Amino acid sequence: MSKHSDFILKPQSSILQDAINVFALIDNGMTSYPAKEYFMQSTFLKMTGAQEQKFKCVVWELATVDYTYRYELLREGLGECSAYKDKNSIFIKLTDYINQKQVYTINNYYDIINNATNIINKFCFKFGQYLGNSIKYYDEVVAKTNSFINDPKELFKANEHLSGNIGIVSKNKNDDGNNIYGLLWKHRNRCAHNLQSYQDNSPSFAELDKPLYKFYNYLVFFYLLLLIDYKLIEYYKKFIEITKQVF
């Protein structure tokens, strides 16, 4: 098994567990509130950054065994792997390669959902006093999870909606901020490039007024990142099994 595989197979829940362990050392009093955003943002950037690198590692492993894909990759290049459309296109390449050798699909998505919710529940137990209504809106996403994750060919089903016609991802897969992953991607950019240092009026009042904005919270973002991670791991395990047989 390659060095990449060790990294790919390590769940990102370990990052959240590290965050829980560190914050356990901090006093729960009023003085800890100013540290909340810094702490949440740091954990969020660790998770998004690790996931972007993980998808790039998957690309490397695919290009090692699929020479046609290697040619396409060298010709077309690879993005940052932060946008949903980039991650989804890599996932599709992975599943296509697997299904060329052996038809495969995850039989039970509840294990993925349970793994993600278990670590989030631990996080909520520790950080509950800081989360406010975030937990309620996170629960709304969890209740709908099985309907949008249950797709053997893509990371999430497009056009699956929560109440108020709010989508997880859009049909055309653009991260334009009009779906929940779009919010995640926008926040990732604001944090990673420190856009808030000069965009001090973001988000605008128009954004804040949208029903979608209630899902602009770290619990929902962590949850979606974990679902993507666990689903990728399951298919990558099958990829390893198949490549061992082929080579």
Rounded CA-CA distance 107/105 in Å is 6
pLDDT of residue 200: 65
Distance separating alpha carbons of residues 1 and 109, to the nearest angstrom: 26
- Helix then strand count (H, E) for the chain reads 10, 2
Q: What is the pLDDT of residue 149?
A: 93
Predicted TM-score (pTM) above 0.85 = yes
User: From CA 109, how far away is CA 106, in angstroms rounded?
Assistant: 7
| Neighbour tally for 92: CB within 10 Å | 13
Three-point CA angle 218, 223, 224, nearest 5°: 100
Write down the pLDDT at residue 176. Answer: 57
Note down pLDDT in tens along the chain; length 247 residues. Answer: 577 899 999 999 999 999 988 887 777 667 677 778 888 899 999 999 999 999 999 999 999 998 888 888 878 777 788 999 999 999 999 999 999 998 998 988 999 999 999 999 999 888 777 788 889 999 999 999 988 998 888 999 887 788 777 889 876 655 556 789 999 998 898 888 766 665 666 677 777 778 888 999 999 999 999 999 999 999 999 999 998 865 5
Tell me, what's the pLDDT at 88? 93
Q: What values do phi and psi take at 220, rounded to 5?
A: -65, -45
- pLDDT score for 218: 93
